[in-house]
Amino acid sequence: MSDLENLFDSHTHHFDAKNRAIVQITKSSLENLPVYFSFGVHPQESLRDLSEIEETFRKLREMNGFLAIGEIGLDNRYDSFQKQEELYVFQLKIAAKFPKPVILHCVNSWDRCRFLHEKHAPETILVYHGFNKASITQQVLDYTKSVISIGESVLTNHKLQSCIKEIPTDRLLLETDTGNGKLIDTYWMVAEIKKLSLHALIEQLDQNAKRIFNYE
């Protein structure tokens, strides 16, 4: 298989992903796990029973393909912010204990996400997924535990295109998330902005993936 057919995808909700992807699973998919996956309770989800969540993590812990905890985080478009924080902190502590990197869902809440991360899981890598807020790029990069993961919005978001130049390639990942576009188009776009060959970009992001998610 050539590397073009096996791009690393740091976060997707598509179970039939053709690339080498970290698939976001749900509690109902535990019987049929993808090769690589992440699990975590999203701030918007209604599952709130912490002991049930912990039990699921405990079951998944020994499985080889379990690469990350997420997507977890804070989203200020939804109310019950206090409950969101409780859930986020609970899962940060699990990430610190396992230890596993965190795939972060963060909407208009970077300062708080960072503060709680620093307090409860400071050694854990934080992968800021679906990043599209160019104006906070530098703030996120200043936090040395963070890595930025970008999806297909880079194809159309001009501000995001220009902020890609500021992101060091060793702190960058690319993802599909819920999008229906082709991941290769995102790779092409980023390679062009970075003035790298497609092959060099694939190689670098592969190294990042292995370093961050610690898999063979």
State the minimum distance, in angstroms, from the CB of residue 118 to Zn ion. 23
Smaller CB separation from Zn ion, 162 or 178: 178
Query: Which pair of tokens denotes residue 187?
Result: 């790779």
DSSP state of 143: S
Distance CA 89, CA 113 (A): 9
State the minimum distance, in angstroms, from the CB of residue 11 to Zn ion. 6
- Strand ranges of the sheet holding 172-174, from the earlier edge strand across to the other edge: 8-12, 20-24, 37-39, 66-75, 102-107, 126-128, 146-150, 172-174
- Helix intervals (H) in the chain: 50-61, 81-97, 110-120, 137-142, 158-164, 183-194, 198-213
Amino acid letter at 132?
N
State the minimum distance, in angstroms, from the CB of residue 186 to Zn ion. 15
What residues contact 193, with CB distance under 8 A and at least 6 apart?
A: 161, 164, 165
State the minimum distance, in angstroms, from the CB of residue 14 to Zn ion. 10
State the minimum distance, in angstroms, from the CB of residue 117 to Zn ion. 18
Closest residue to Zn ion, judged by C-beta, is 177
Contact footprint for Zn ion (CB under 5 A): 177
Smaller CB separation from Zn ion, 42 or 197: 42
Smaller CB separation from Zn ion, 14 or 182: 14
Smaller CB separation from Zn ion, 47 or 168: 47
State the minimum distance, in angstroms, from the CB of residue 199 to Zn ion. 28
Smaller CB separation from Zn ion, 9 or 177: 177
Contact 78, 106 (CB under 8 A): no
Smaller CB separation from Zn ion, 157 or 191: 157
Comparing CA positions, the residue from 143, 72, 79, 151 lying closest to residue 114 is 143
